[in-house]
Amino acid sequence: MDSHTLLLLPLLIPFVVAVATLALRTRPGLQKALNLIGMTGILAASIALLVRIGNEGIQATGLGGWPAPFGIMMVADHLSVIMLIVSALIGVAVAIYAIPNVDAQRVGFGFYPFMNLLMVGINGAFLTGDLFNLYVWFEVMLISSFVLIVLGNTEEQLAGGIKYVVINLVSSLFFLAGVGMIYGLTGTLNMAELAMALPQVEQEGLVTVVAMLFLVSFGIKAALFPLFFWLPASYHTPPAAVSAFFAGLLTKVGVYALIRVFTLLFTQDVGFTHGLLLWAAGLTMVSGVLAAAIQTDFRKILSFHIISQIGYMIMGLALFTPLALIGAVFYIVHHIIVKANLFLVSGAANQLQGTFSLKKLKGLYAAHPLMAVLFVIPAFSLAGFPPLSGFWAKLILAKAGIEAGAYWIVAVAMAVGLFTMYSMSKVWVNAFLPGTDEDVDAGRTPTAVRVMYLPIGALAAATIFISVFAGPVYEMAEQSADELMNSSAYIEAVTGHEESVADSATRVDLDGRAGGVHAQ
């Protein structure tokens, strides 16, 4: 298969499935089967793309045969293809989980078409090489996710959906303002061209202003402090399958966008831009974990922990060293799997007892020990308990922070890990330990929950795999960091010529280090 087709498959497959499931809206069984086949196809295509990149380097293609910067460019490097693979893995898990979890009414109103359109937007954001098309993919995501939030038409869903869409529309306004300004400064929106053009702009202050516009826009989507309030207001309202999909992927698209633009484009004043990111990372960790500690609803606790964990990823970006970026990529992979799985576990608990409230959940360990085991694996990994994947991710970031001299952010990260353990312990003590077998019909696991155990177990196995075989994951993260810190390969793949500013002080190799942020 040629590279052009392989690059487009992660977009074409979910788009075709969205159209097909819409046409089969009166055939829910076929919709479920097509959705699962489609998500599996995306996973297979993404793995094939990773193999292609490993053999041939970064892949890029212009739609319609138009070259950069005139054509719509699709680009896949190690970071984007890693994101594709992990997203597709979550897509497969949610496809299985949704079979018993999403009711017939929601299926009839378009759950599967919009789920696949959301995947189109997510994959488009990972593959685009153009800022305006990144905006387009964000809007596809916004429309699809809004529909999935309000599908069911409950008062809580509508309230959460309105907050979600309003704040994301504000994000879009900042994004468009940034796009307009950067085009005015450089005359292009192609990211590879921008990487060459921005260092030549004389008005460095305006470039920093544009960077701040993108920081606000992508910070909203990533749920950075203080822009995260939309997330806990909306993520706990839809079915658990939707919550898990959102929890695993949506904020990580924002994190991906931040990593992409603040390693490829905005590296002229890292002392200011990345120093600001470092403070935002610390405040995001602290505010998220403290809010989670006082919650009594299973999904609200998990929602606030999404915010807290985003801080770790941004910490790696803000430190802006090769090891820190390795830690950020490793953390993203770990977190997507773990966080989605915890939301799936919460949905299974709700299926058994009809509530997400820790005050009402009880006795799950006595009646369903398998569920207890499947909860402990991602919960302990989220808290960074050795030797699970979260421990390795935090260890890499801590080492990067110490090497960079940013001791305060390392101390914050370690303290937040302890508070995370407290929250997970609170869930364990309240939902799993109290009660007896009689509380939840011991020994009579409903068929729906048995089906839910399949993706939960698969994601738990993925967490264990990353924990045991952390080396290969580290190596892929290292390749991603190499490409992020050395943009010449990306630029050459897109434009066909080497970066003209490759000797810029902001471009470093894996043994080097960009200056100006580490001790802040």
| Category of 64 on φ-ψ map: left (φ > 0), alpha (ψ -120 to 50) or beta | left
How far apart (Å, rounded) are the C-alpha atoms in residues 448 and 100? 5
Does the structure show a pLDDT above 70 at 509? no
The pLDDT of residue 353 is 83
The pLDDT of residue 512 is 39
- Per DSSP, 319 falls in state H
C-beta of residue 345 within 8 angstroms of C-beta of residue 374: yes
Instruction: Domain ranges for the chain, please list them.
Output: 3-495
How far apart (Å, rounded) are the C-alpha atoms in residues 172 and 214? 10
**% of the chain exceeding 90 in pLDDT:** 55
C-beta of residue 24 within 8 angstroms of C-beta of residue 34: yes
Task: Please provide the average confidence, as pLDDT, over all residues in the chain.
Answer: 87
Band of residue 511 on the pLDDT scale cut at 50, 70, 90: very low
Does the structure show a pLDDT above 50 at 294? yes
- Per DSSP, 297 falls in state B
Nearest to 388 by CA among 310, 302, 463: 463
Nearest to 422 by CA among 318, 266, 290: 290
Q: Which residues contact 105 (CB under 8 A, 6 or more apart)?
A: 152
Does the structure show a pLDDT above 60 at 40? yes
The pLDDT of residue 343 is 93
The pLDDT of residue 498 is 57
For residue 287, give the 3-state DSSP assignment: helix
The pLDDT of residue 503 is 41
Does the structure show a pLDDT above 90 at 179? yes
C-beta of residue 58 within 8 angstroms of C-beta of residue 493: yes
The pLDDT of residue 281 is 95
pLDDT digits (tens, 9 = 90+) for 197-216: 998 888 888 999 999 999 99
Q: Which residues pair with 130 in a beta bridge?
A: 190
More confident residue, 3 or 285: 285
Does the structure show a pLDDT above 90 at 323? yes
Question: In 384-504, which ranges are continuous DSSP H helix?
Answer: 389-404, 407-427, 447-468, 470-485, 488-495
The pLDDT of residue 513 is 39
The pLDDT of residue 508 is 40
The pLDDT of residue 83 is 95
C-beta of residue 352 within 8 angstroms of C-beta of residue 368: yes
Of the listed ranges 98-102, 108-112, 227-231, 322-326, the one predicted with least confidence: 227-231
Of the listed ranges 136-150, 223-237, 487-501, the one predicted with least confidence: 487-501
Mean pLDDT value across residues 248-269: 92
pLDDT digits (tens, 9 = 90+) for 384-429: 888 999 999 999 999 999 999 999 999 999 999 999 999 898 888 8
Does the structure show a pLDDT above 50 at 504? no
The pLDDT of residue 444 is 66
Does the structure show a pLDDT above 60 at 499? no
How far apart (Å, rounded) are the C-alpha atoms in residues 255 and 265? 15
Query: Does an H or E element contain 421, and which?
Result: helix 407-427
The pLDDT of residue 429 is 87
Band of residue 472 on the pLDDT scale cut at 50, 70, 90: very high
